[in-house]
Structure 1
């Protein structure tokens, strides 16, 4: 890989990391504390100016609920419809118990849906 290829890969990774963080409504300070980094270091990662250690990338993938392959650009993720993405963002702020209750409610709605309801 050339230096230009490496720079492009770091920028792509940084963009995906920023998008994943923003999608979940997390602040840079929160993610930096999770990784035990400064906010400036996380900002450098998100702009492609700082390299990401393998352990950091694994922890970020777990936090952001994404695969490492998606974050590095090796895998694509199917885009969610806007209304579903909104629901996912809202659900991310719920407690674990509330998310479990939400999942039960979604299961209930699926079972009562009539054919052709869409």
Structure 2
């Protein structure tokens, strides 16, 4: 018997869908999440998320918006429309995030407070009156 029968063969992913799936997988792994965790957030089976990441299953707009929010990236990054998102800054931030993933929750919270401090300090330097 041939595996070409309905139900036995996997459809070939389209290049754009495959690229989207690769970006989604990269973002999930970057965040340190398992497919099971993300599938629960979306309310879909883990196998459906696996098919999305493989480029086999289409992602609807609501799912993509939820994934972008969960992965803390703009939707345009996943669709390949934002060349700035793959800049050197994004690579540096990815490095910091990977390092932070190994920290305790308390240390990650402290890191977030420090990042907010740096952000507010940069804003203060940018204003003429220093506030």
The TM-score by the shorter chain falls in which range? 0.7 to 0.9
Larger Rg: 2
Instruction: Give the TM-score normalised by the residue count of structure 1.
Output: 0.73
User: Following superposition of structure 1 onto structure 2, how do residues 1-118 of structure 1 map, counting pairs within 5 Å?
Assistant: 7-76=14-83, 77=85, 78-80=87-89, 84-91=93-100, 94=105, 97-104=109-116, 106=118
> Which is bigger in relative contact order (C-alpha 8 A, separation at least 6)?
1
Q: Which runs of 5+ in 2 are unaligned?
A: 1-11, 123-131
TM-score (normalised: structure 2): 0.66
Deviations 1:11-49 (A, max 9, x none): 010000000111111111111111011110000000000
Q: Per-residue deviation at 1:99?
A: 4.4
Provide the aligned length of Structure 1 versus Structure 2.
107
Distance 1:85 1:50, change over 3 A: same
* Root-mean-square deviation (Å): 3.1
Matched-pair contact (CA < 8 Å) for 2:64–2:75? yes
